[in-house]
């Protein structure tokens, strides 16, 4: 089977009726770039930059970060690289930074919330990213955005740092896309408004499902509520994709659902433009995409969105593709 998949490494991710999508890889750093390319990844859909911070005993300096981002952008040779700004907090702690005591860290001071409070940390990262932008095709996205105001504030800081660098005579790319993760239900429901200001969306289903179902993603006691095929989750995904397309923006997904074989037909049918997953899942996903018809997938998704339970949705998909 591995050999059969290998022929797909250089193939396009295109359906039988000619609809093309992008299949990308999730990475934690430069060391993962080779795996993405070897497995036929067409880009990086999620660079989780928190590892730069977690595998360290100090906040990485602007220059240290610049080198890390440059290496990834160069390694991807002009392919799209979506870098997520610092997503720390929740379960992700730093040895050299004290988080406030909170009852619910996953609902607390983390990710963009922390970055908009500690703008010194945020500005350092943005400067490193903007400086690295000339070495490839950079997209930046903010994690855990709940309100349009947060997006605006983050984007304004990005614009300020970009302007400062230009003023300082530093070369920067003029086509850096600035988007956001959709991983809080409030953002999914308000997607059409966000899409007027964000260049793209990337749906983070790991958190989107956790927050929709009010079920801790780390707790095995409630793991039955991790339901990617639940119609509630599918409807949030649909609203996000539709919101993006209404404004001519693209919508991707970088949560684990993007690499689930039975989810691919549904997501393709709902119009998802980019799927980002572990490198080792890319070729299987490509096999699935190339065996599907976009039109039929759209009808399948439409049927699925009318169903009541995750079990019913999964049965429907299995009947269609197995």
CA neighbor of 173 nearest in space, from 87, 72, 70, 84:
70
**Which among ligand PEP, Mg ion, none contacts residue 238 (Cβ within 5 to 8 A by kind)?**
none
Residue that the structure tokens 């990475």 belong to: 27
Within 10 angstroms of residue 222's Cβ, the number of other Cβ atoms is: 14
Cβ nearer to ligand PEP, comparing 8 with 52: 52
Cα-Cα-Cα-Cα dihedral sign, residues 242, 237, 52, 105? positive
If one asks whether residue 255 binds ligand PEP (CB under 6 A), the answer comes out as: yes
Q: What is the DSSP letter of 198?
A: -
CB of 206 to Mg ion, least distance (A): 5
Segment interacting with ligand PEP, rule: CB under 6 A, options 5-13, 59-67, 200-208, 279-287: 200-208
Residue 268 binds which entry of ligand PEP, Mg ion, none, with Cβ cut-offs from 5 to 8 Å by kind? Answer: none
> Is residue 48 near ligand PEP by the rule CB under 6 A?
yes
Q: List the x/- string, 181-210, binding to Mg ion by CB under 5 A.
A: --x--------------------x--x---
Residue 162 contact partner, candidates ligand PEP, Mg ion, none, CB within 5 to 8 A by sort of partner: none
Q: Hey, which residues between 86 and 105 contact ligand PEP (CB under 6 A)?
A: 87
* CA angle (138 as vertex; 269, 136 as ends), nearest 5: 115
Do 318 and 296 touch, CB atoms closer than 8 A?
A: no
The minimum distance between CB 113 and ligand PEP, in angstroms, equals 14
Class of residue 64 by CB neighbours under 10 A (exposed 0-12, middle 13-18, buried 19+): middle
Asked if residue 204 binds ligand PEP (CB under 6 A), the reply is: yes
The token duo for 166 is: 């230009």
Report how far residue 207's alpha carbon sits from residue 118's, in angstroms, rounded to the nearest whole number. Answer: 23
Q: Considering only 54-62, 175-183, 231-239, 297-305, which stretch makes contact with Mg ion by CB under 5 A?
A: 175-183
Measure the CA–CA gap between 66 and 246, rounded to whole angstroms: 35
> By C-alpha distance, which of 93, 81, 87 is closest to 42?
81
Residue 278: which of 10, 6, 76, 45 has the closest Cα?
Answer: 45
Q: Cβ closer to ligand PEP: 204 or 243?
A: 204
**Which of 100-108, 148-156, 204-212, 260-268 is the region at the interface with ligand PEP (rule: CB under 6 A)?**
204-212
Q: Which is nearer to ligand PEP, 173 or 189 (CB)?
A: 189
Rounded least distance, CB 184 to Mg ion, Å: 9
The strand pairing partners of 48, in sequence order, are 84
Residues in the chain: 322
Check residue 50 for interaction with Mg ion (CB under 5 A): no
Site membership for ligand PEP, residue 110 (CB under 6 A)? no
Contact 52, 68 (CB under 8 A): yes
Beta-carbon contacts of 144 under 8 Å, excluding residues fewer than 6 positions away, are 87, 110, 111, 112, 113, 181, 183, 184, 207
Is residue 32 a contact point for ligand PEP (CB under 6 A)? Answer: no
Least separation, in Å, of the C-beta of 299 and ligand PEP? 27
Near ligand PEP by CB under 6 A: residue from 22, 150, 183, 260: 183
Applying CB under 6 A, does 207 fall inside the site for ligand PEP? yes
The number of residues that bind ligand PEP (CB under 6 A) is: 10
How many alpha carbons fall within 13 Å on the CB side of residue 112?
Answer: 25
Q: Please name the helix (run of DSSP H) or strand (run of DSSP E) that holds residue 274, with its range, or none.
A: strand 274-277
The piece of 58-66, 202-210, 288-296, 298-306 that touches ligand PEP (CB under 6 A) is 202-210
Kindly list the residues in this chain that would bind ligand PEP in the complex (CB under 6 A): 46, 48, 87, 183, 204-207, 254-255
């Amino acid at each position: 089977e591995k050999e059969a998949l290998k022929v797909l490494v250089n193939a396009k991710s295109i359906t039988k009726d000619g609809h093309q999508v992008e299949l990308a890889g999730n990475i934690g750093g430069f060391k993962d770039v080779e795996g993405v390319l070897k497995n036929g990844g067409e880009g990086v859909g999620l660079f989780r930059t928190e590892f730069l911070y977690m595998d360290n005993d100090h906040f990485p300096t602007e220059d240290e970060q610049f080198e890390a981002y440059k290496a990834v952008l160069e390694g991807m040779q002009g392919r799209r690289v979506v870098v997520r700004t610092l997503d720390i907090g929740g379960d992700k702690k730093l040895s050299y930074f004290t988080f406030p005591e909170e009852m619910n860290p996953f609902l607390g001071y983390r990710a963009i919330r922390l970055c908009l409070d500690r703008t010194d940390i945020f500005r350092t990262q943005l400067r490193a990213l903007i400086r690295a932008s000339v070495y490839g095709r950079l997209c930046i996205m903010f994690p855990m955005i709940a309100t349009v105001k947060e997006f605006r504030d983050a984007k304004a800081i990005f614009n300020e740092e970009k302007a400062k660098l230009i003023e300082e005579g530093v070369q920067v790319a003029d086509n850096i896309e600035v988007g956001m993760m959709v991983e809080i239900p409030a953002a999914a429901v308000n997607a059409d408004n966000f899409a007027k200001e964000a260049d793209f969306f990337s749906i983070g289903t790991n958190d989107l499902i956790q927050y929709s179902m009010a079920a801790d993603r780390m707790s095995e006691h409630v793991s039955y509520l991790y339901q990617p095929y639940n119609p509630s989750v599918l409807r949030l995904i649909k609203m996000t994709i539709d919101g993006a397309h209404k404004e001519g923006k693209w919508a991707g997904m970088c949560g684990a659902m993007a690499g689930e074989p039975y989810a691919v037909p549904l997501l393709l049918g709902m119009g998802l433009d980019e799927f980002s997953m572990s490198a080792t899942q890319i070729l299987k996903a490509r096999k699935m995409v190339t065996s599907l018809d976009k039109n039929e997938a759209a009808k399948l998704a439409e049927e699925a969105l009318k169903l009541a339970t995750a079990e019913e949705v999964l049965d429907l998909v299995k009947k269609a593709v197995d």
